[in-house]
Structure 1
Amino acid sequence: MRSSLHLLDVGPLEADVLMFLHGGGLSAHQWHPQLKALNGYRCLAPDLPEHGLSRALGPFELHDAVERVLHVLVQRSPGQRVHLIGSSLGGAVALQVLRVAPKLVQSVFITGTAAGLSRRTGQLTLAAAPLVNLIPKEWLLQASERQFRVPTADRAAFREDLRQALNIHTQHSLTRALMNLQLPISSNVRVLALVGSKETWTAKRAARHIARLMPQGQAVEVPQVGHLWNLEAPDLFTATVQAWVEGKPLPPPLRPLATDVE
């Protein structure tokens, strides 16, 4: 029998279930502001394989991560449809869960999520992976803190998680996972694809593409934030999650991304 993912499980057992899936190189600690604030919901936040306290379950493979996430859902929320909230890599896992088990999903909320990697881009990324061993880790950690605007209170956990991921093996695993991503098509589940205004043009294109595939898909830009905006702007992120899962209008700062252009 497979070992289970390390899991944070908080909130009332009878409440609606939100599953939080963290970004690549991080862990469930990424979600601590939301897990604390959304105390009226049942919140599940696993450490994905090869991450955090599930690191021994690596290497990270997308199909394996999805199977383990589904196992958590069946064990912890039997008979319930859940809201999936994913950041970056976690968004890719959420989309794959939707693809293989749509009947378990009530809605999907993803941010900063790639729509996959082409073979050419993936091969180039794999070829560049050895560079991670040539650059001092401390420099990479400091650069990542600045790039993602990680608040002081979250830096120790962020650095510890990311330090473990700064190796060629993990970088290869994560790249191959995105190369293997297969997006769901024509699902009637509500899907919200968000992107920070300070993210790349490629990230914005991915959000548009993902939303375009879904009959109930929306692509939304969040002004003045970057990739890890759940830490950068935790109150806004939490309010956005709550509005989304309750079917209410999204907070006013958010604005639609046009879906008719690449």
Structure 2
Amino acid sequence: MPNTLPPDWPFRGDARQVRARPHDWCVIDHGAGPTALLLHGAGASGHSFRHLIPALDGWRCIVPDLPGQGFTRAGSRTRFGIEPMAEDLATLLAQQGWQPEVVIGHSAGAALALQLSTLIPLRAVVGINAALGQFEGAAGFLFPLLARALSVTPFVPSVISRLWGTEGKIRSLLDNTGSPLDPAGVAQYLTLVKKAAHVDGTLGMMAQWRIDRLMARAPQMTVRSLLLATAGDRIVPPRVSRQAAGMLPRADVLELPGLGHLAHEEDASAVAQAITGWLAR
């Protein structure tokens, strides 16, 4: 792995750069056993699974940074939407010979996992606080519009990176998720926000994300799915998972108390037990 990762970055020794058109992916490959693909949410990177990876004992975890985010260099800024991103992930998997049985997606990563299930055979999809609903009210119109405007405005990612790249700002953002993180977790998100390219990739993803198209096809998605929701999530409340499960033919919902949006970073053991217990059943 080139020295693009900070020396103390989680699983740095298991990460490598993989060129699969059109992107230059940063991928963690850790463990042995049946393969699980882990997909992070918007604004994060594969580092967000730093506690869940070891908790999934007996699994081989493939964990890419999504295009434009973390340490994956995007080869095309037009491919940040759900459908093209899933296509590019399928290309990466095929090129490397990776055949995941399960895809575990957090937040927006869960939507990507469902889209991927229409392209490759999967045993199951697991969504952790799956972002499968629209923003409500005026936000449903204004937030995507604002993201589109910012993503095409020169220098905006650099400005945001400078303004928000402070520990205080990052702590405030993370507190709003309902998930208190340890100092190391806060520092890792600070590292990401200080990268203008990461901010640009996140804005591009928000601008091109069309969850309505995905959920319109939900009745045709026959993959077994677990939507894992947490009561303290301030970003994606549990009712979003319950509503989405009503649209998916083979979905179960499991709610965990006392955790926020970043549940897998707060209590990876509880999340892993919920996932492996459901898979065993």
Structure 1 position 81, deviation (Å): 5.3
Say if 2:107 is the partner of 1:88.
yes
Find 1:150's aligned residue among 162, 181, 188: 181
Identity %: 24
Structure 1 position 96, deviation (Å): 1.2
Determine helix, strand or coil for the equivalent of 1:105.
coil
Distance 1:61 1:21, change over 3 A: same
What are the Cα deviations for residues 141-193 of structure 1, in whole angstroms up to 9, with x where unaligned? 12023333122232221222244478577325314314564133243321111
What are the Cα deviations for residues 60-104 of structure 1, in whole angstroms up to 9, with x where unaligned? 2222210121123323445x4520100011111111112x22x51
Q: How many residues align?
A: 242
What is the alpha-carbon distance in structure 2 between the residues aligned to residue 186 and residue 169 of structure 1? 30
Contact residue 88 and residue 111 of structure 1 kept, 8 A: yes
Distance 1:121 1:58, change over 3 A: farther
Distance 1:164 1:95, change over 3 A: farther
Contact residue 114 and residue 221 of structure 2 kept, 8 A: no
Structure 1 position 212, deviation (Å): 1.0
Determine helix, strand or coil for the equivalent of 1:245.
helix
Name the aligned partner's letter for residue 63 of structure 1.
Answer: E
What is the alpha-carbon distance in structure 2 between the residues aligned to residue 4 and residue 152 of structure 1? 30
What is the alpha-carbon distance in structure 2 between the residues aligned to residue 161 and residue 146 of structure 1? 17
Identify the residue that residue 28 of structure 2 maps to in structure 1.
Answer: 8
What is the alpha-carbon distance in structure 1 between the residues aligned to residue 35 and residue 95 of structure 2? 13
Pick the structure with more helix per residue. 1
Contact residue 22 and residue 74 of structure 2 kept, 8 A: no
- In structure 1, the gaps of 5 or more residues are 248-262
Identify the residue that residue 58 of structure 2 maps to in structure 1.
Answer: 40
Name the aligned partner's letter for residue 172 of structure 2.
Answer: A
Distance 1:158 1:71, change over 3 A: same
Find 2:89's aligned residue among 60, 69, 75: 69
Distance 1:182 1:234, change over 3 A: same
Contact residue 36 and residue 62 of structure 2 kept, 8 A: yes
Contact residue 227 and residue 252 of structure 2 kept, 8 A: yes
Contact residue 141 and residue 163 of structure 1 kept, 8 A: no
Determine helix, strand or coil for the equivalent of 1:23.
coil
Identify the residue that residue 13 of structure 2 maps to in structure 1.
Answer: none
What are the Cα deviations for residues 122-159 of structure 1, in whole angstroms up to 9, with x where unaligned? 43103555699679412431202333312223222122
Determine helix, strand or coil for the equivalent of 1:91.
helix
Distance 1:61 1:189, change over 3 A: closer
- In structure 2, the gaps of 5 or more residues are 1-20, 151-155
Determine helix, strand or coil for the equivalent of 1:86.
strand
Structure 1 position 44, deviation (Å): 0.6
Q: How does 1:56-135 map to 2 (within 5 A)?
A: 56-57=74-75, 59=77, 60-77=80-97, 80=99, 82-98=101-117, 100-101=118-119, 103-117=120-134, 121-129=139-147
The CA RMSD over aligned residues, in Å, is 2.9
The farther-off stretch of 213-222 and 46-55 is 213-222
Q: TM-score, normalised by structure 2?
A: 0.75
Find 1:53's aligned residue among 47, 68, 71: 71
Determine helix, strand or coil for the equivalent of 1:209.
helix
Find 2:262's aligned residue among 223, 228, 247: 228
Structure 1 position 242, deviation (Å): 1.9
Determine helix, strand or coil for the equivalent of 1:193.
strand
What is the alpha-carbon distance in structure 1 between the residues aligned to residue 105 and residue 225 of structure 2? 11
What is the alpha-carbon distance in structure 2 between the residues aligned to residue 48 and residue 109 of structure 1? 17
Name the aligned partner's letter for residue 21 of structure 1.
Answer: L
